[in-house]
Amino acid sequence: MIKKFVFNNPFKTYATVLDIESCTDTLPYFEYSKRKFTYKMSDTTCVYGLGEAVRGINKRGWIYEGYCSDDPSHTEDKRSLYGAHNFLIIDDKQNDGNLFGVFFDYPARITFDIGYSNPSILEVSIEKDDIAVYIIEGNTKREIVRNFRKLIGMSYVAPKWAFGYMQSRWSYFTKDDVIRIADDYEESDIPLDAIFLDIDYMERFKDFTIHDERFPDFEQFVDYMKRRGIRLVPIIDAAVKVEDDYDVYEEGRKNGYFCKDKDGNDYVVGVWPGRAVFPDFLNKDAGKWFSDKYKILTDMGIEGFWNDMNEPAIFYSDKGLDKAFSQIEKYREISLDANTFFDCRDVFPRLSNSQDDYNSFYHNVDGKQIKHNDVHNLYGYFMTKTAQEGFMRNNPDKRTLLFSRASYIGAHRYGGIWTGDNHSWWSHILLCLKQMPSLNMCGFVYSGCDLGGFNGNCTRDLLLRYLSLGIFTPLMRNHSACGTKDQECFAYSDVKDFKNIIDFRYRLIPYIYSEYMKAVLNDDMYIRPLSFDYENDEMAKNIEDQVMVGQSIMIAPVYTQNADGRYVYIPENMTQVRLNADSTITQTKIEKGHHYVNVPLNEIVFFIKENHCIPLCDSAKNVDSIDYSTIKLIGDADTYELYTDDGITTQYSLDNIKTISK
């Protein structure tokens, strides 16, 4: 079922949890030579996977990299985003060809040329010879994913409240700003479970500090908000500000817990707080030390965090800055021509996330000096891993919300991810829709994108359409960059339309939470491409803008401005469910085939599979106050397997499923 092939001496990434003997046979399917794994694709081969990458659900036709990248422009010419998820499923079964999964456990830069240089060749290249490759077999794509999950371990379980609607912005600057957001949501009668605190809640962007003037009496404030039914979720950045007398910095420096240059000096970079240093999460003691700091905030009542800038993002380094200033000086003396002008112009932009920096600092792994670039993709993963291990150490029975920007397979056991700095663009609704099933393949079940889009100004119609997708993603957070137009629902006209959609999320919680928990506990996927459910349907593999959500639902979001609906492929007879603008529900039968489906901005349409049904309850002001006695089943089956638990402890199990009937 799973075979492991080891080349040389791979770095221990802890991506996998099964102890498998490595095979001595030759690696099947691929030719391996000169750090290149080559696979010959047929005309019909589909390639799935790569988690958080741009482009299609079928990854064929582009070149991707597994290399965690801080890139705020998610355009289709990019090779990598924040996560490195080196898992592929190669499917040529319809053509009586191969079907298998392959995981390249390799923590440095790895390139996946999937028919980009040569349309029929898949070539995976690495920079050094040390790698573990796993071949995962299964009769179906879904079975391959389940087998893969056995190899990499069960996915993280988020607390139930984290399935509610959450509001964020960079930044709500003061306590009063946060209260105003809560008031406005309450006045609009829109449910809300959490408000996020971006970097400005800190004192000069220093991790584990609170800005006392802007957020006085923080502990009481956290408690006050919780009594109003809203949790506060602060951000934690990877880099620690260099500042004398700042205890986190001083402790880390004294104990040698920061990444070092080759001579053993702390490697200084510039990020939000100015000059800063990177905690060495790969060093066990340093990781433990940093993770214990979260306790400062959990002791004040905080129950969730988002870990950011952990690719790690570098604006500049001391070393790079020196070089840039001396380079720029040289240009002062000359008349700039075509080449020198562009070179001069780019001296400063080139400072950020430079390869030179990633090659210039080191980790201390069990006393061995390891160059950062050789293990680059583990940094954000280990920040998440150590943080969650810290929460479990301090409170073993409790779930803590944690999601990260950078990740590697393995991180899925410790937290979720969000897809980073997307845009208020229509095309990014579609990007999110395509990322979700691919992330599920790689174990990242608790995930979602910034609804409304992070960069740029969001229009009313765009937010409504983003939310219409977001009601189905486990993480449902509206977040936006500084300087952008207000993006909270109440900032737009006819707020009742937003209320209708977000209320519906809460009505769906019994389904979403049940299906999420079943997916996690069965090592399954919560969001899947159509071709994973309809393996023998020739059409399904072409469908890139519809996905399955849980066992019963198919969604087909609208992602085009001014469209009053869209074409939908119905792979079997289904029940079409329409949430009308007045919150009533209409169910109609829809036959297998292609249909144009009308979807006004203030309505939601989705589809229930034949012989399936879903539970719907009444909406509530937050997840904790949902009344499960209001559940009604819709669809054409009579029973549903409902999962319930307390939502907050780690006592989750498949025994918590009970069958409910109409």
Contacts with ligand GLC by CB under 6 A lie at 170, 198-199, 235, 308, 405, 420-421, 479
| Closest CB to ligand GLC among residues 170, 362 | 170
- According to DSSP, the residues that pair with 451 across neighbouring strands are 478
| Residue 228 DSSP one-character state | T
- For residues 330 and 317, give the distance between their C-alpha atoms in angstroms, rounded to a whole number: 20
| Closest CB to ligand GLC among residues 306, 504 | 306
**Backbone dihedral region of 219: left (phi > 0), alpha (psi from -120 to 50 degrees) or beta?**
alpha
- For residues 171 and 234, give the distance between their C-alpha atoms in angstroms, rounded to a whole number: 11
| Closest CB to ligand GLC among residues 11, 403 | 403
The least distance separating ligand GLC from the CB of residue 582, rounded to whole angstroms, comes to 35
The least distance separating ligand GLC from the CB of residue 486, rounded to whole angstroms, comes to 15
| Closest CB to ligand GLC among residues 199, 554 | 199
The least distance separating ligand GLC from the CB of residue 468, rounded to whole angstroms, comes to 22
The least distance separating ligand GLC from the CB of residue 431, rounded to whole angstroms, comes to 15
Hunting for tokens 């996915």 — which residue is that? Answer: 155
Q: Which helix (H) or strand (E) holds 324?
A: helix 318-332
| Closest CB to ligand GLC among residues 84, 114 | 84
The least distance separating ligand GLC from the CB of residue 205, rounded to whole angstroms, comes to 9
- According to DSSP, the residues that pair with 609 across neighbouring strands are 574
The least distance separating ligand GLC from the CB of residue 29, rounded to whole angstroms, comes to 37
The least distance separating ligand GLC from the CB of residue 282, rounded to whole angstroms, comes to 22
DSSP string, 193-219: -EEEE-GGGSSTT-TT---TTTS-SHH
- For residues 169 and 162, give the distance between their C-alpha atoms in angstroms, rounded to a whole number: 17
Question: Would the CA dihedral through 327, 328, 329, 332 be positive or negative?
Answer: positive
- For residues 91 and 351, give the distance between their C-alpha atoms in angstroms, rounded to a whole number: 41
| Closest CB to ligand GLC among residues 478, 576 | 478
With 0-12 / 13-18 / 19 or more C-beta atoms within 10 angstroms meaning exposed / middle / buried, residue 187 is exposed
- For residues 13 and 3, give the distance between their C-alpha atoms in angstroms, rounded to a whole number: 17
The least distance separating ligand GLC from the CB of residue 421, rounded to whole angstroms, comes to 5
The least distance separating ligand GLC from the CB of residue 194, rounded to whole angstroms, comes to 15
Task: Give Cβ neighbours of residue 272 (< 8 Å, ≥ 6 apart).
Answer: 199, 205, 237, 239, 309
| Closest CB to ligand GLC among residues 84, 90 | 84
> Which ranges in 471-622 belong to alpha helices (H)?
495-521, 530-533
| Closest CB to ligand GLC among residues 193, 198 | 198
| Closest CB to ligand GLC among residues 229, 420 | 420
| Closest CB to ligand GLC among residues 115, 420 | 420
Which residue minimizes CB distance to ligand GLC?
170
Task: Give Cβ neighbours of residue 655 (< 8 Å, ≥ 6 apart).
Answer: none
Hunting for tokens 């719907």 — which residue is that? Answer: 616
The least distance separating ligand GLC from the CB of residue 140, rounded to whole angstroms, comes to 36
Q: Pull the structure tokens for residue 528.
A: 């899947």
Task: Give Cβ neighbours of residue 278 (< 8 Å, ≥ 6 apart).
Answer: 238, 239, 240, 258, 259, 267, 269, 312, 361, 379
